[in-house]
Every structure is written in C-alpha cells, then in structure tokens.
Amino acid sequence: RNLAEIAKKLSSRAGYAAGAGSLCPKHQEPLKLFCQEDRTAICVVCDRSHAHRAHTVAPIEEAAQECKEQIQSKLKSLKDERERLQVLKLAEEKRSQ
C-alpha cells in the first residue's frame, strides 16, 4: 500500500512537471489560484492560510486570461503609437529634404 501511494505521488508530480501545472513548494498541492496582492500562484492551502486570507484570489486560468487581455491591449496601443511615430518620422524626413 505504501509503495502504491508513493508511486501515485510520483506520477502526479511527473504530470505536473511535464506541464500540467506546478506544485506549491510549501504544501505540495497544485497551484490553482492566483493571489492578486502578491502577484503569485498559490495553492488552496495557501489561500486559507493567514498570509493570504484577506487577499483577493482568483482561479489561475481566469487570472492568466485577464493578464493576456491586458498584454494584448497594451501591445495594440504600442503598435498604434509606433505607427503614429513612423508617420511623424516620414513627414520630418520629407520636410528636411
């Protein structure tokens, strides 16, 4: 029975190491939540701990999607700004010629 439990733990850890997720270094639980205040992934046990109890926590997939949307929005504004600067640069080059 002990060997079966050890094998089960090792196989679940191997699955997480292969990209299915990560384990909490403190509790060896899956990192399924994201603490907004600390900007870090946490496990369910950490969420209930004193350190994160009063913090805003969201499912990690939801937090990742929000971050992705923010990055895409900022990237779009940077591309727009780059395009605007290129137009100004071309206009200045024509003026200097």
Higher-confidence residue: 18 or 35? 35
Structure confidence at residue 88 (pLDDT)? 96
- Domain residue limits, the chain: 20-96
Kindly tell me the number of DSSP H helices and DSSP E strands found in the chain.
3, 3
The 10 Å Cβ neighbour count of residue 7 is 10
**Residue 37 in 3-state DSSP?**
coil
| pLDDT, mean over the chain | 83
φ, ψ for residue 47 (rounded to 5)?
Answer: -60, -35
Q: For 56-89, write each residue's pLDDT tens digit.
A: 999 998 988 888 888 989 899 999 999 999 999 9
Nearest to 40 by CA among 28, 52, 48: 52
Residue 19 has pLDDT above 60, yes or no: no
Q: Tell me yes or no: is domain 20-96 CATH 3.30.160.60.
A: yes
Residue 6 CA to residue 27 CA, distance in Å, equals 16
**Does the structure show a pLDDT above 70 at 3?**
no
Residue 32: name the closest of 48, 43, 23, 24 by CA.
43
Decide: helix, strand or coil at residue 59: strand
Q: Which residues pair with 57 in a beta bridge?
A: 35
pTM for the model stands at: 0.59
